Amino acid sequence: MSYFKRRHLFSKIITYIVLLIFLIPVLWLIYTSMKPNIEINTRPPVWFSKNMNFDSYLALLGFPVKHEGFGFGENVPFGDYFRNSILAALGSTFFALIIGTLAAYSFSSFKFKGRNGIFLTLMLARAIPGIALSLPLLVLFTKMKIADTVPGLIIAYTAMNVPFTAWLMSGFIGEIPKELSEAAMIDGCSKWESFVKVEIPLVGPGLAASGIFAFLAAWNEFAIASVITRTTAAKTFPVGLFDFTAEFVSDWRGMCAMSVMMLIPAIIFVITVQKQLVKGLTLGAIKG
């Protein structure tokens, strides 16, 4: 590691400056969520507010706060959005990982007719944006009675995430030394057992990496959700953000507060699995 121990002062400085630039909008978002609205939309700017408070958060969580007058999105059903978002994101991540891994296993472990064709078709599905799918999906889902439900979202997001998962995972499964699973089989393990005992643990980092991407994609998806969800039974955070700029409502602070709340689960999730992420991406890129 002596290479890395050398001083790279320049690199360090660059890194910190860049990080700061990337952080400014985040910090500004947090700061704005605590300022009164009158200090947010103003010129000259109020850089250092003396009236900071957590009212916008309290209002979101349903605690009583002093009424600020007409024009504020105090009645935003934060709890419903949170439940819908977390169920849709976790549910679709779970299914995408299972289904995608099975597909990846097929791609990386077998050679069969049409393999590249199917692989490519799956990837191409990623090129189709949600808007192009949204209205036909609404018609279909309505017929199946899953429009405006969380399961409907889960199905849509699962499909959205399967291709990328399959792709990343195929890199991982391909990386597993064949000798290992063969050795396991010689030891008397069935093919299935070797899959479970040898291969699954080795693909952990891959699952983590794919999991992060799937979770974030579903958590932040807007185009499909904006069409197939309509009520608090299924509306997610990105759709709910628009509650703050409806007719005669302009609550920028409230919107920032909800944005911050929306980031928290994503951050927790990313921190939890990020160590595996780098490893996961390494393998996913080289193989697959």
Partner 1 sequence: MHSQNIVLDKGAGDNKFFSESKTRLPFVLLLPSLVVMFFVVGYPMLYSFVISFTNYTLVSSGGPKFVGFKNYITLFKDPVFGRALLRTVFYMLIAVNAEFILGLLIANAMSHVIRGQGILRTIIMMPMMFAPVLVGFQFKWIFNDQVGLVNNILYEIFGHPVIIPWLIKKPLGFITILIAEIWMNTPFMVIIFLAGIMAIPTEILEASDVDGATEWQKFIHITVPSLMPFIYIAMAVRSLDIAKAYDLVSIMTGGGPAHRTELIWTYVYRLAFTSQKFALGSAMSYITVLLAVLFTYYLFRQLIRVRKVRE
Partner 2 sequence: MKKAKLVFVLMLSALMVLGAFTLLYAGGEKEKSAGEKKAPEQIVLKCAFIGGANYEELYKSIPEFEKKTGYKVEIVFKGDGFQIDKKLKTDFAAGTVDYDVCWDHSSFFTQYIKAKGIIPLEDYFTQEELSDHIPMILNAGKKNGHLWIIPRHFDISCLHYRTDIFNNEEYKKKFKQVTGKDLEVPKTWDEFKETALGLQKILPPGMYATQFAGKEEALTGRFYEILIAEGGQFFDKNWKPAFNGPAGVKAATMLRDLYQAGAMPPGMTNFVWEDVAKNWVAGNIAMYTEWYGWYSYFQDPKSSKVAGKFDIARQPMGDAGIHSGWAGDHAFSITAASKHKKEAAELIKFLTNYDNQYREAKLGFLVTRQSVWKKIIEEAKQSGNPLDVKRLKLAQLQASEDFKTPPLVAEWLPSSDIVYPILQAIILGDKEPKAGLDEAARKVEAMMREAGYYK
| Residue 42 contacts residue 58 (beta carbons within 8 Å) | no
Distances (CA, A) of 228 to 158, 244, 258: 15, 20, 22
List of E strands, the chain: none
Stretch 13-42: interaction string toward partner 1, x if CB under 8 A: -xx--xx--xx-xx-xx----------xxx
Name the one range near partner 2 by CB under 8 A: 20-28, 96-104, 115-123, 277-285: 96-104
| Residue 210 contacts residue 164 (beta carbons within 8 Å) | yes
Q: Which is nearer to partner 2, 72 or 119 (CB)?
A: 72
Supply 110's token pair.
Answer: 């077998």
* The binder of partner 2 chosen from 83, 118, 242, 266 (CB under 8 A): 242
Residue 17's Cα: distance from chain center in Å? 27
Q: Which of residues 178-207 bind partner 2 (CB under 8 A)?
A: 190-193, 195
Look up residue 185 and give its DSSP letter: H
Q: Which of residues 37-76 bind partner 1 (CB under 8 A)?
A: 40-45, 47
* The binder of partner 1 chosen from 160, 184, 203, 234 (CB under 8 A): 160
Q: Please state at what angle helix 252-286 crosses helix 78-109, rounded to 10 degrees.
A: 10
List the single partner that 131 binds among partner 1, partner 2, none, CB under 5 to 8 Å by kind: partner 1
Check residue 210 for interaction with partner 2 (CB under 8 A).
no
Q: Which is nearer to partner 2, 146 or 208 (CB)?
A: 146
- For every residue of 48-87, which 3-state class applies, written as one string? CCCCCCCHHHHHHCCCCCCCCCCCCCCCCCHHHHHHHHHH
Site for partner 2, rule CB under 8 A: 36-38, 41-43, 68-73, 75, 91, 95, 98-99, 102, 135, 138-139, 142, 144-147, 149-152, 154-155, 158, 190-193, 195, 227, 230-232, 242-243, 245-250, 252
